[in-house]
A and B are shown apart, each in its own frame.
Chain A
Amino acid sequence: MTGIALHSHDMPEHRPTVGLFVTCLVDLMRPAVGFAAVKLLEQAGCDVVVPAAQTCCGQPAYNAGDVADAKALARGVIDAFARIDYVVLPSGSCGGTIKVHYPEMFADEPAWLDRARDLARRTFELTTFLSDVMKTGPIAGRLEAATAYHDSCSGLRELGIREQPRALLSGIQGLELREMDEAEACCGFGGLFCVKYPEISEKMVDVKVDAIAATGADHLIGGDMGCLMNMAGRLQRRGLDVHVRHVAEVLAGTCADAPPIGESETSQAKTKIA
């Protein structure tokens, strides 16, 4: 046993192939995050593929109690990402669905349970993959920003994502992290929740927005598009000048490719001048 290198289990020796699970919201609303993720993965020494057959992880159906549809979608994902070294998502929420809930869904179907567990084992949220598997260490870059960081609930509590994005971001020069109160509180997005119970959701996002404002930060960074769109939408409705970014864009240094979430090209131009 002495001949086996200690790191061989956690750090791949060959150049691994990573299947990017784009996620619905990135696919539809913010492709720039997908390209940022690709860039980061390639920089870290991975070959990136984007299986065409991927659609949705099934979380909306699962959370609505529609287990049959959720399982149908899960089977599709399991098939689409079979035989790829790793599956990486720019989302802790969809990552939690695959890693935690797929095995739950198939608890009574042994054949699929094995495949679900196998996929869960190979699946990582982007920042945890870079930090814990590829062990990239802090990622070099530059962004002049005082930023709050939002820990999305699924990522934080289902996958234990907290230190990884902060560690990666510590290499970004000019970036000052300002932790907020209520850091572990939900932003009120919750998928269908925010459209089914908009008043309660508004109250929750206001608590969050107040906490962000209290830090005096001019940026908000996070790892999940749903939460970020929710908070960006409320920040803008309340007229607060906080620019919202997905952590992948900041780490990849691709902020110039797209305006901050929910802002237009013109407002980005203004920001740059300012």
Chain B
Amino acid sequence: MDSTAHSFVDNAHRALHDAKLQHSLGRFKEGFPVKRRAAVDRMPEFDALREAAREIKDHAIANLDLYLERFTERAEANGTRVHWCTDAEAARQRVLEICRDSGARTVAKGKSMIGEEIGINEFLEAEGIRPVETDLGEYIIQLRHEPPSHIIAPAVHLSKDQVADAFRSHHRDYPETRPLEEPEVMLAEARAVLRQEFLAAELGITGANMLVAETGSVVLVTNEGNGDLTQTLPRVQIVIASLEKVVPTLEDATTILRVLARSATGQDLSVYTTFTTGPRRGGDLDGPSEVHVLLLDNGRTEMLGNEFREMLRCIRCGACINHCPIYAAIGGHAYGWVYSGPMGAVLIPNLIGIEEAGNLPNASTLCGRCEEVCPMQIPLPRMLRQLRDRQYRARNSPAAVRYGLSGWAFLARRPALYRLAMSLGVGGLGRIGRLKRNGGRFRRLPFADGWTGTRDLPAPAGKTFQQMWSERGGRRQ
């Protein structure tokens, strides 16, 4: 997928002035966080589960080589073909080869963020193969030629009218004038259309929520059942998974599942949790004849070796996004690439470069709500700060910030000079404030446009606390 992360500020500006998007975001905020809270309240051991889940992922990541080898061995023993891919291009080529070998022309797709990462749909289309997204939200945005705006709710930015418009322009077999106001009606139509696609598809592609080393199984979680139809009906199945999805045992996967849906949608479990281990076996009446698993690096081993290793714990639940006030203000598309919210602001610069995505780690107040709700306790604010550190050291921070900060730090390291400068500054501003007789506040200050563009700035009192403390003869030590 092409990135627009470099134009984050413009993207955000457009998002803030998009009335339909703002309406959708308003509704969104009420949903997931409230449901998560209720689910967590119903599970007194939630924090203990989080601790256990974190330990599992830390252990798996610290032994990633061993678990991936074990997974591969068990998967191959069960007839799965495992393909290791270093980058997006390698993964795309491998998918294409499998499609060509199987003669596939229609591909059913389960929602996969890795699929978005490697831009598999655009690639297959260019090769004359038709991918059909089967998750309802993902199908809607595929019709609209948009990327997902949320990792678990791809069409959360849309209103039902926009969905109806997309269906009217693409479902040409249905009467033009049919009623399409109610979500139930739209769902029934999408279900009928997609059912035929499922039956026609020669090949299915899904992502994976986890890989189980103990058994060589792939764990896939959905609410709609589209993932299961995708991995049951077509003759050939491809699973694309990034390296860090592997966990040791079924019990370990189970523990993570206990925090996944609760953190994501506030369900105890998603409706369908499926453990798939290889292709159809002797006597089976259904299931694919071939199963391929692509293990994709695409930047993961680099993160494994640097200060962002803990990000590999992420299980893509979306809780950080659902609780992020920045995301709530601008939605997912403004981030400009596959991911969004706090996890996106950490992942995107790591995966496509800080030069391209430099705004993302800065566009945060570091309020800490993301880390608070993260089931994997990923220190997202610390990582955002580390990305800023990386930028600062690479001298990629804006000059105004750099000079402003150095000037400030220069003074602040010299207490006497600092006190003098502050008292002069405060005295000056205070006098201007009083002269303007505008109620002791500034409605516009030339060097503080960012502030006074939207808020009043109180005029300083005229003397600093330090000056007044000295004048009153207060104790210094």
Contacts and interface: CB of A to CB of B under 8 A. Distances in A.
Contacts of A26: 465
B458 A188 contact: no
Given A49-B477, A63-B388, A64-B401, A27 B466 contact: yes
Interface string A249-274: 00000000011011111110000000
A232 interface: yes
A163 to B, nearest CB: 17
Interface stretch (A142-150, A151-159, A170-178, A213-221): A151-159
A263 B459 CA distance: 9
Contacts, number: 227
A153 B369 contact: yes
A27 B365 contact: no
Most buried by B among A35, A190, A197, A261: A197
B474 A61 contact: no
A118 interface: no
Interface in A49-75: 49-56, 58, 60-67, 69, 72-73
A196 B461 contact: no
Contact of A22 (B326, B365, B409, B465): B465
Contacts of B408: 56, 60-61
A200 B271 CA distance: 36
Contacts of B419: 52
A193 B461 contact: no
A154 B368 CA distance: 7
B454 A201 contact: yes
Interface in B353-394: 362-369, 371-372, 382, 385-393
A164 B457 CA distance: 29
Contact of A158 (B368, B402, B468): B368
A29 B392 contact: no
B330 interface: yes
Nearest to B452: A233
A200 B415 CA distance: 35
Nearest to A227: B365
A42 to B, nearest CB: 11
Given A190-B367, A232-B458, A264-B440, A55 B475 contact: no
B469 A188 contact: no
A135 B330 CA distance: 44
A198 interface: yes
Given A55-B411, A201-B454, A264-B441, 13 more contacts: A32-B461, A60-B408, A66-B409, A80-B415, A153-B368, A157-B371, A190-B364, A197-B363, A198-B453, A236-B456, A237-B456, A263-B458, A267-B439
Interface of B: 9, 12-13, 16, 325-326, 328-330, 362-369, 371-372, 382, 385-393, 397-398, 401-402, 405-406, 408-409, 411-413, 415, 418-419, 422, 425-426, 439-441, 443, 448-451, 453-458, 460-461, 463-466, 468-470, 474-477
